[in-house]
Every structure is written in structure tokens, then in C-alpha cells.
Structure 1
Amino acid sequence: MIHELRIYHCVPGRLPALLNRFETITLKIWEKHGIRQAGFWTVLIGESNQDLYYLLEWDSLAEREQKWTAFSSDPEWLAARAGTEKDGAIVASLSSQILQPTSFSSVK
């Protein structure tokens, strides 16, 4: 099992729109594609309270490539994303890291 840490840095003031998009749109489309999330977090104390952190679970890099490509090109997702951005961009930038557990990690 590998995990992908994704961090979305929102346009100032647009974090509520991103959270709403995940809760009402994105997660349903992920379910259709078999994308598994391990958790979502916002920043309570730290550098920016305009960031969303989340982890995805993958069996392999090949699974990630197949499922993420299918999701990214899904017409339902593309239309829904465009609709949520009609008033402007939500995400200013994002970063993604593939994490591998250590031998002593409680999460494998």
C-alpha cells in the first residue's frame, strides 16, 4: 500500500468552495472510479489556513495512474469542476507526494 499526500493551496477566501466541492461532488465521482481516501485535513494552527491536505490510498503506482487518469478525464468531473469555478479559480497551486511507509510505521 502506498499513500499520496496532496496539498491544495487555495486562492484566498476560496477554501470553503473547495471543501464544498469535495463534499458534494468530488467524493462521489472518486467512488465511481474506485479512488480511496484515507483522510482530509485543514490547518488549525500553522502557516496557512487556506490549505487542504488529504491522503489517497493506492495498491500500486499502476493503480494510481489508471484510476487518476480515468477520473481526470471524466466528463462529469470536468463539467462539475468548471461549474464550481465559474466565479474564478479555487486552487492557486497544489503539490503531490507519493509516500512509502517505513518498516516501523503503524500505517502500512
Structure 2
Amino acid sequence: MIYELRVYRCVPGRLPNLLKRFETTTLKLWEKHGIRPSGFFTTLIGESNQELTYLLAWESLAEREKKWTAFQTDPDWISARAKSEEDGQIVGNIVSQLLTPTAFSTLK
């Protein structure tokens, strides 16, 4: 199993918009494309409280490439993203890391 750690740093004040987009749109589209989230987190204490951090689970890099590309190019996603940003950009930057569990990890 491969895990993808993604951190979205929002434009100041726009985190509620990002959370709403995930709850109402993104998760449904991920289900459609077979993308498996493993957890979502907001920052309680840290550099910024305007972040959404989450983990995705992938069987392989090939699965990630196929499913993520299908999601990113889905006309429903393109439309929903544009609609959610009609009043301005939501995400300032995204950091993504692909991780493999250690032998002692509780996630395998």
C-alpha cells in the first residue's frame, strides 16, 4: 500500500469553502473514481490553521496515476471546482508526498 499525504494551504479565510467543497462535491467524485481517503485533518496547533491535511490510500503508483488523472479531468470536477471558486481562489498551494509504511507502522 502507498499513502499520499496532501496538505492544502488555503487563501486566508477560505478554509470553510474548501471543507464545504470536499463534503458536498469532492468526496462523491472520489467515490465515483474509486479514490480511497484514509483520513482528513485540520490544524489545531501549527504553522497555519488554514490547512486541510489528508491521506489517500493507493495500491500502486499506476493505480494513483490512472484514478487521479480520471478525477482531475472529469468534467463534473472541472465544473464544480470552477463554481466553488467563482468568488475567488480557495487554495493557495498544495504539498503532496507519496509515502510507504515502515515495518512498524499501524497503517500497512
User: TM-score if structure 1 supplies the norm length?
Assistant: 0.99
Please say if 1:41 is aligned against 2:41.
Answer: yes
Residue 100 of structure 2 corresponds to 100
Question: Aligned partners of 2:103, 2:25: CA distance in 1, in Å?
Answer: 36
In the alignment, which residue of structure 1 is the partner of 2:81? Answer: 81
Which sections of structure 1, spanning at least 5 residues, go unmatched? none
Please give the alpha-carbon distance, in whole angstroms, between the structure 2 residues aligned to 1:62 and 1:20.
Answer: 30
- Root-mean-square deviation (CA, aligned residues, Å) is 0.4
Per-residue CA deviations over 1:5-43 (Å, capped at 9, x if unaligned) read: 000000000000000000000000000000000000000
After superposing on structure 2, the runs of 4+ consecutive aligned residues of structure 1 that deviate more than 4 Å are none
Please list every run of 5 or more consecutive structure 2 residues that lacks an aligned counterpart in the other structure: none
- Alignment: residue pair count: 108
**Cα offsets for 1:42-80 (capped at 9, x unmatched):** 001111100000000000000000000000000000000
Residue identity (%): 69
Q: TM-score, normalised by structure 2?
A: 0.99
Deviation at 1:104, TM superposition (A): 1.1
